[in-house]
Structures are given as structure tokens and as C-alpha cells.
Structure 1
Amino acid sequence: MGPLRNFELKQHKFTTTYVKMQQAYISEAGTVLGNYKIIGYSTPGEGNKTTNFDYTEETRSWDNNTVALTTTDISNAWKAASRVKLNDCSSGKIWSVSVKASSTNAGEASFTAVVPDEGCDALTPSFTKIGK
């Protein structure tokens, strides 16, 4: 397995772990999105950093570690910014996951994974399928 395939698998694992933990929390809590702490998610690496990425949680108006979940996207619920140039993907590019309440099922959420551009998509071609 080449280093780029290994990179893709790791990034996919980090993100799907977040999505699964968040969905489990939302199914119990119903109308709120939990922050990393309350859902039990730990960012990869030491100090929220790996060799290639910085992982950050957006600052929000957290109320008891939660924020209201509506049918409007909560952007960058999960976010990773590249620290270095990766092939055709320049540094500072952001992979993210947005979350919103399901418009059809109570206690469920819709997740939308976004890759910054074509050069970055080549590194993680299955990333946008996360949460589907």
C-alpha cells in the first residue's frame, strides 16, 4: 500500500469516527450537536496535529457543550487543514464536514463532507462519500 493510499485511509477513519460518534449523540439528544468533548471524540495526533494536518473544532456559542441542530448547515463541524503541500494540494487547504438536522427523520442528522479542490480530491477521492 503506497503512502498516499495510507494517508487516505487514515483521513477517512478520523472523519468517519467523528460522524459515527456525532450521529450516536444526536440520536440520543435529539435536537443538539455535541462538541468533541461531550461526544467523546479525540482529534488525531498530539496537540490536535499530525505531520500533515491541524485538526480544530470551530468556536461556537456552546451551551453545556452543545449547539442547536437545525435544518441549516452547521459548517466545519469537523475540520482539518493541511500543514504541508501534498502533491497538487497546497498547504492551508481545509477538509470539512457540515451537519444539519434531517428534514425527514427526528433524531437524525445529515452530514456533508467537503474537499477543498480537485488537487486535494485526488488525495481523498472517497472523502465526500462520508456520512452518506
Structure 2
Amino acid sequence: MKLQDAYVAESGIYVGNWTTIGYNMPGSNNFTYAQGQTTAQTVALAGLSAQTGWTATNKAKLNDCAANSVWQITIAEADNGNASKGSPIAYNATTPAAGNNAGDCAALTPNFTKIGQ
């Protein structure tokens, strides 16, 4: 998120994909990572609404968390409340919902939903 914030600060009007902002996701034996909907080199920030920027999907069952459960971060243009925090981008991190047969995935990453706040 710091790389994305820096890119927006430099460009002024765009968010960028992983390559554009200089992000390189390391490999993992436990998760598959994807950049979500933000695959174009750049996307205009103005009017951007809840677009998936990053996902992580576990490859196997982890404790009480079912395999193929998805953690994600969405990005959007910040409203006045988020802009006052210094970033024109609002981030929203979500863990797999227990009601979707995911099991207890939130217990694995208890602070994940606080990302971007």
C-alpha cells in the first residue's frame, strides 16, 4: 500500500498495477497471490470504486480455515474521511467469511482487516 500511495502521490491521478508501482510478490508454498482487477498499467483514481487490488488464496486447509479461501484488499477513491488520513486512496481488507464454508480464517490473520486504517 505504501508503494501505491507513493505512485498516486507522484502521478496525482492514477493508481498502478504491481509492475507499474514496482511491487514484486514473493513466492509462497501456502498462498497464491493475484493483483485482482487492477491489471491495467494505470487506472484513473477519480471515481474508482471498490476495485479488487490484491488477493491471497490459501492452497490447502490451514487449521480451521478451508482450502481456497480468499483474503482481499479493495481500493477506491477516498472520501473526505479517508483523505484526511493523508491518502487519496481508501483501502478495505477482508478475510474469508465464515458463513461461506471457509471455517475460521480470520483467526489466522486477526489484524488483516485493520490494513489501511
TM over 0.5: yes
The answer to whether structure 1 residue 99 and structure 2 residue 75 are counterparts is yes
CA shift digits 1:60-100 (9 cap, x unpaired): 572xx1012225111x2011111010011111111110011
Task: Output one character per residue of 1:1-38: Cα deviation in whole Å (capped at 9) or x when no partner.
Answer: xxxxxxxxxxxxxxxxxx11111111222222100001
The reply to whether residue 51 of structure 1 matches residue 29 of structure 2 is yes
* Structure with more relative contact order (C-alpha pairs < 8 Å, separation 6 or more): 1
Matches within 5 A, 1:36-75: 36-45=18-27, 50-59=28-37, 62=40, 65-69=41-45, 70-74=47-51
Identity of aligned residues (%): 37
- For residues 108 and 20 of structure 1, the distance between their equivalents in structure 2, rounded to whole angstroms, comes to 12
Alpha-carbon distance between aligned partners in 2 of 1:27 and 1:102, rounded to the nearest angstrom:
13
Q: Distance in 1 between matches of 2:13 and 2:78?
A: 10
Structure 1: runs of 5+ lacking an equivalent: 1-18
Query: 1:115 maps to what in 2?
Result: 95
Q: Which runs of 5+ in 2 are unaligned?
A: 99-103
Whether 1:80 and 2:56 are equivalent positions in the alignment is yes
- After TM superposition, where is structure 1 displaced by more than 6 Å over at least 4 residues in a row? none
Give 3-state SS (helix, strand or coil) of 1:58's partner.
coil
Aligned residues: 107
**Does the Cα contact within 8 Å between 1:81 and 1:94 map onto a contact in 2?**
yes
Aligned-partner Cα distance in 1 for 2:68–2:54: 15
Structure 2 match to 1:14: none
TM-score (norm: length of structure 2): 0.82
C-alpha contact (below 8 Å) 1:31/1:107 kept by paired residues: no
Which structure carries more helix by proportion?
Answer: 1
Instruction: Name the CA distance, whole Å, in 1 between partners of 2:65 and 2:112.
Output: 15
Structure 1 counterpart of 2:15, from 33, 52, 60: 33
Q: Quick check: 1:127 aligned with 2:99?
A: no
